[in-house]
Amino acid sequence: MRHGKSARYGRYTGGPDPLAPPIDLTEALHEISEDVMAGYSTEQAMREYLQRGGPGMTGLDELAGRVQKQRRDLLSRHRLDGTLEQVRELLDDAVLEERKQLARDICMDDTDRDFREMQLMNLPDSTAAAVTELSGYDWQSSGAREKYEQIKDLLGREMLDQRFAGMKQALESATDEDRAAISQMLNDLNDLLDKHARGDDTQQDFDDFMARHGDQFPENPQNIEELIDTLAQRSAAAQRMLASMTPEQRQELTEMSNQAFGSPELMDQLSRLDANLQGLRPDEDWTGSEQFEGDQGLGLGDGTGALQDLAELDALAEQLSQSHAGSTLSDVDIEKLGRQLGDDAAASARALAELEQALRDSGLLRRGSTGDLRLSPQAIRRLGKTLLKDLGRLSGRQGQRDTRHAGAAGELTGGTRAWQFGDVEPWNVTRTITNAITRTVSEGHDPRSGLRLSVEDVELQETEARTQAAVALLVDTSFSMAAEGRWLPMKRTALALHQLISTRFRGDELQLINFGRYANPVHIDELTTMAPMYEQGTNLHHGLLLATRFFRKHPSMQPVLLVVTDGEPTAHLMAHGESWFSYPPMPETLHTTVAELDRTRRLKAEVTFFRLGDDPGLEQFLDAMANRVGGKVVSPDVADLGAAVIGEFLHSRDPHFPSSF
């Protein structure tokens, strides 16, 4: 505080909280990616995540459930005869007061008293008919007359409150001048709406109307369209309230309406207003109805408000469902949600909308050439990094394996050599400085006066060579992989291996090959988003054929073949390129598969089979295949598949590295 001034602190209301922590997309990306790998489209996976929510974040499903509960509670608490009930009570009180007065008035003519008593005793059972019949009655009791006048005043205020929220309270102590001002407002409003319907109105007409009657519209509309929207929503809700009443209640209310303020003029003005608004906003729901089953009576104004709340809740339910094409959470009306469910619900919806927008803006999701949403390469790298970390620590290995050839960067041999253009090995500082001193002295200079290095002085520390590998990962995508719950672990394995090679063994080449009825080379993002393939056929022959071609494209690299499968070969390629399927496997299928594996042996490939499941035939077949080429068979649990494949790959790159890690 300075110079006597004070400062007030409160919640920031100028938009998103500038001090709020950035949205963490890690959990959302992981959950979305899991669903994508399980077969969902990226758009659907994101929708599913937003529907269920995340840690500490309420999802759309829960918000929608709260909307439906609020709707059920509203209908189960209330009924719509509150105004009729109030009128009946006032009428009963007025008749009772009048009969007491008749009994006390000793000066009254007995014939007149008897006539009045008979008139009061024979009032119709219908409240509306009784109110109408007493409209010309000469009340002897001032208290009874006041009660009857309250009926007319209540009806007038309720009728207005149906169309203009808050009018019932505003006119509670109204004078004749106040009622005249309301009547004038209705006339002016109807004239303005008539003019607008003809297309003859101007903004000035609206401004003039608001200058005269703006205090009657707390919504503060800025133009006639906003004014019409507000009035039409309320008027349509009033019509739905009437439709929700029983036929008897509706008839009673209609018959009493002309008693509002003791004159039918108000209903004429309101009927004209309803007709104008229905013509200008025919798309509003003017004919719907609801089934109220509670015991708390609502007046006409409050009942209309309840119908508006129900319409608002229905709109929120549709927005939260995100069922329309192109829907986003920006469609959700946060203000209405807060009004219906409270600030916590509004905050949850706002957080979900911010998360959705952050996902779209982060670069983790992008539109494909066909317009569909996909995981971006950045997202796939991020997911692969997470999966690789989950599979176990790699102890900071840099991905080299020993061979005893001097040259490329690797383990130090103890020797040195002169630097050549393109070399990146570390300098031997001692040899380099010695060379510089020797050269400086030979040139007749004193090294103590300054020493300058020259390119020819530099010597490098000689290292062992690093062998590059051509790695082919063959993954079975036949029907059984999806049916037995092996689809997702297979994808996680491929993604983790791709991440390992692309970040720690960058000199290696990786080819992913999926094989079902046919085999296909696939990019990692294609495999990640591939839906389960419910086709019969395990064409390992075709997969090995593609792997052999891949190895031959990289003749200077060490071939590494990793095969993940859960079934014996049941298909092979025929001479004309068609796939032949047969179960149980035909001898020809087994023969062609073994023949292709022999070709990888001639290329000196290191072969490992990963057998999933307990099929004895598969176990026998893979054991024979591994023995034939000097390879091995690993039988991991499906949950350990990724760790097994990564471990075997690292072991193939460094025999001293354990197969499991």
Give the tens place of pLDDT for each residue, 84-121: 999 999 999 999 999 999 999 888 888 888 999 999 99
C-beta separation of 612 from 486 below 8 A? yes
Which CATH code fits 469-653?
A: 3.40.50.410
Is the confidence at residue 589, as pLDDT, over 50?
Answer: yes
pLDDT at 393: 47
Rounded to whole angstroms, how far apart are CA atoms 105 and 111? 13
Is the confidence at residue 42, as pLDDT, over 80?
Answer: no
Q: Token pair of 529, please?
A: 């988003």
Which amino acid, residue 425?
E
Rounded to whole angstroms, how far apart are CA atoms 105 and 200? 62
pLDDT (tens digit, 9 = 90+) per residue, 348-378?
A: 898 888 888 887 777 777 776 666 667 767 7
Rounded to whole angstroms, how far apart are CA atoms 533 and 52? 27
C-beta separation of 120 from 184 below 8 A? no
Is the confidence at residue 69, as pLDDT, over 90?
Answer: yes
What is the pairing mode between strands 459-466 and 365-367?
unpaired
Location of structure tokens 């509309």? 221
pLDDT at 74: 94
Is the confidence at residue 214, as pLDDT, over 80?
Answer: yes
Q: pLDDT tier at 10 (50, 70, 90 boundaries)?
A: low
Secondary structure element (H or E) that encloses residue 64, with its range: helix 60-77
C-beta separation of 231 from 224 below 8 A? no
Is the confidence at residue 341, as pLDDT, over 50?
Answer: yes
Rounded to whole angstroms, how far apart are CA atoms 625 and 312? 68
Is the confidence at residue 210, as pLDDT, over 90?
Answer: yes
DSSP E strand stretches across 192-316: 296-297
Rounded to whole angstroms, how far apart are CA atoms 115 and 118? 5
pLDDT at 366: 72
C-beta separation of 611 from 566 below 8 A? yes
C-beta separation of 659 from 651 below 8 A? yes
**Nearest-CA neighbor of 507 among 608, 399, 407?**
399
Helix locations, 554-607, DSSP H: 587-602
Q: What are phi and psi of 609, to 5 degrees?
A: -105, 140
pLDDT (tens digit, 9 = 90+) per residue, 287-340?
A: 999 999 999 999 999 999 999 999 999 999 999 988 777 778 889 999 999 999
**Nearest-CA neighbor of 649 among 475, 469, 488?**
469
pLDDT at 53: 85
Is the confidence at residue 280, as pLDDT, over 50?
Answer: yes
pLDDT (tens digit, 9 = 90+) per residue, 533-556?
A: 777 889 999 999 999 999 999 999
Rounded to whole angstroms, how far apart are CA atoms 312 and 74? 12
Report CA torsion sign: 375, 381, 386, 391: positive
Is the confidence at residue 470, as pLDDT, over 90?
Answer: yes
pLDDT (tens digit, 9 = 90+) per residue, 288-302?
A: 999 999 999 999 999
Of how many residues is the chain composed? 661
What percent of the chain shows pLDDT beyond 90? 46
Cα 135 to chain centroid distance, Å, stands at 60
If you average pLDDT over every residue of the chain, what do you get?
A: 84
Higher-confidence position of 242 and 482: 242
SS3 (DSSP) at 438? helix
Q: How many CB atoms lie within 10 A of CB 353?
A: 17
CA of 337: how far to CAs of 43, 63, 502, 524, in Å? 25, 9, 47, 42
Rounded to whole angstroms, how far apart are CA atoms 63 and 625? 56
pLDDT at 407: 38
C-beta separation of 238 from 163 below 8 A? yes
What is the pairing mode between strands 365-367 and 509-515?
unpaired
What is the pairing mode between strands 402-406 and 459-466?
antiparallel
Rounded to whole angstroms, how far apart are CA atoms 617 and 611? 11
Is the confidence at residue 465, as pLDDT, over 70?
Answer: no
Q: Token pair of 654, please?
A: 């460094």
What is the pairing mode between strands 509-515 and 632-634?
unpaired
Is the confidence at residue 594, as pLDDT, over 80?
Answer: yes
Q: Token pair of 264, please?
A: 């039918």
Is the confidence at residue 20, as pLDDT, over 70?
Answer: no
∠ CA(640), CA(642), CA(647), 5° rounding?
A: 95
- Beta-bridge partners for 57: 54
Peptide bond between residue 124 and the one before it cis (omega within 30 degrees of 0): no
Task: Give burial (CB, 10 Å; 0-12/13-18/19+) of 450.
Answer: exposed
pLDDT at 392: 59
Is the confidence at residue 56, as pLDDT, over 80?
Answer: no
Region 255-284: mean pLDDT is 90
pLDDT at 17: 58
**Nearest-CA neighbor of 260 among 132, 152, 128?**
152
C-beta separation of 539 from 517 below 8 A? yes
Q: pLDDT tier at 197 (50, 70, 90 boundaries)?
A: very high
Q: pLDDT tier at 403 (50, 70, 90 boundaries)?
A: very low
Rounded to whole angstroms, how far apart are CA atoms 344 and 66? 12
pLDDT (tens digit, 9 = 90+) per residue, 625-642?
A: 999 999 999 888 888 888
Rounded to whole angstroms, how far apart are CA atoms 471 and 301? 75
Rounded to whole angstroms, how far apart are CA atoms 203 and 142? 50
pLDDT (tens digit, 9 = 90+) per residue, 496-511?
A: 888 888 877 778 899 9
DSSP secondary structure letters along 362-399: SSSEEE-TTS-EEE-HHHHHHHHHHHHHHH---TT---
Is the confidence at residue 3, as pLDDT, over 60?
Answer: no
- Beta-bridge partners for 514: 475, 520
pLDDT at 149: 92
Rounded to whole angstroms, how far apart are CA atoms 322 and 465? 58
pLDDT at 627: 93
Q: Token pair of 519, please?
A: 């085999």
Region 28-57: mean pLDDT is 77
C-beta separation of 460 from 428 below 8 A? yes
Residues 6+ apart with CB under 8 A from 134: 91, 94, 123, 148
pLDDT (tens digit, 9 = 90+) per residue, 515-538?
A: 999 999 999 888 877 777 777 889
Q: Token pair of 518, please?
A: 């046919």
pLDDT at 646: 84
- Beta-bridge partners for 427: 460
Q: Residue 110: how many CA atoms within 13 Å on its side-chain side?
A: 0
Is the confidence at residue 583, as pLDDT, over 80?
Answer: yes
Edge-to-edge strand ranges of the sheet holding 412-418: 402-406, 459-466, 412-418
Locate the domains of the chain by residue range.
31-78+313-375, 81-291, 402-466, 469-653
Is the confidence at residue 472, as pLDDT, over 50?
Answer: yes
SS3 annotation, 202-218: CHHHHHHHHHHHHHHCC
- Beta-bridge partners for 509: 470
pLDDT at 306: 93
Q: What are phi and psi of 427, to 5 degrees?
A: -75, 150
C-beta separation of 497 from 645 below 8 A? yes
pLDDT at 463: 60
Rounded to whole angstroms, how far apart are CA atoms 275 and 630? 90
SS3 (DSSP) at 404? strand
pLDDT at 222: 94
Secondary structure element (H or E) that encloses residue 415, with its range: strand 412-418
Rounded to whole angstroms, how far apart are CA atoms 358 and 144? 67
pLDDT at 401: 39
